[in-house]
């Protein structure tokens, strides 16, 4: 099976502007930022979408959220505020089928819609 773009970024096969990484996760700048700060938090493990996660992934999902918090502090938007989003499936506009959290900040964000 062909690897998706985030598997290829996580393995170092294609470049990204990485802001944080560890054994399980990699965080990098979104190529099409929707805000002054737009970081993607991606597990190295391939899971296509939130709906495919199981109880086995509970720790990984917790680490994804904790890494979003860590990266927001690292980048300096913890005080000003930020938003964490995960898109699941077509109606959410999911484009890359590899679980990821968006961390958005650096300006006052509008209402969700
Ligand atoms: P989503 O709709 O939740 O699947 O968002 C996928 C995001 O991934 C989208 O905001 C654009 C970003 N993206 C897609 N391809 C690449 C890439 O090759 N590099 C980087 N840095 N971001 C990408």
What is the pTM for the complete model shown? 0.97
The predicted pLDDT at position 23 comes to: 97
* Index of the ligand 1 atom closest to the CA of residue 14: 18
Q: Output the CA 30–ligand 1 centroid distance in Å.
A: 6
Report the SS3 class of residue 79.
coil
Domain ranges of the chain: 5-105
Maximum alpha-carbon separation in the chain: 42
CATH, domain 5-105, list 3.40.50.300, 3.30.428.10, 1.10.10.10, 1.10.3720.10: 3.30.428.10
Contact 36, 30 (CB under 8 A): no
100 catalytic? Reply is: yes
Q: What pLDDT score was predicted for residue 98? A: 98
Tokens describing residue 37? 């700060």
For the CA of 17, the nearest atom of ligand 1: 21
Closest CA to 100 of 41, 51, 27: 41
Mean pLDDT in consecutive groups of 10 residues from the start of the chain, 113 residues: 91 97 98 98 97 98 98 98 98 98 97 86
Phi, psi values for residue 85, rounded to 5°: -130, 140
Residues with CB under 6 A from ligand 1: 5, 16, 28-32, 40, 87, 93-96
Please report, for residues 13, 79, 104, the alpha-carbon distance to residue 26 in angstroms, rounded to integers and kept in the order given: 13, 23, 16
């Amino acid at each position: 099976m062909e690897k998706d773009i985030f598997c290829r970024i996580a393995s170092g096969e294609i470049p990204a502007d990485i802001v944080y990484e560890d054994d399980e996760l990699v965080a990098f700048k979104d190529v099409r930022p929707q805000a002054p700060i737009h970081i993607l938090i991606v597990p190295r493990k391939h899971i296509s979408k939130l709906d495919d996660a199981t109880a086995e992934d509970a720790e990984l999902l917790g680490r994804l959220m904790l890494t979003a918090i860590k990266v927001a502090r690292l980048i300096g938007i913890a005080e000003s505020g930020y938003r964490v989003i995960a898109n699941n499936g077509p109606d959410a506009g999911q484009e890359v089928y590899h679980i990821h959290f968006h961390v958005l900040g650096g300006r006052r964000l509008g209402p969700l819609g």
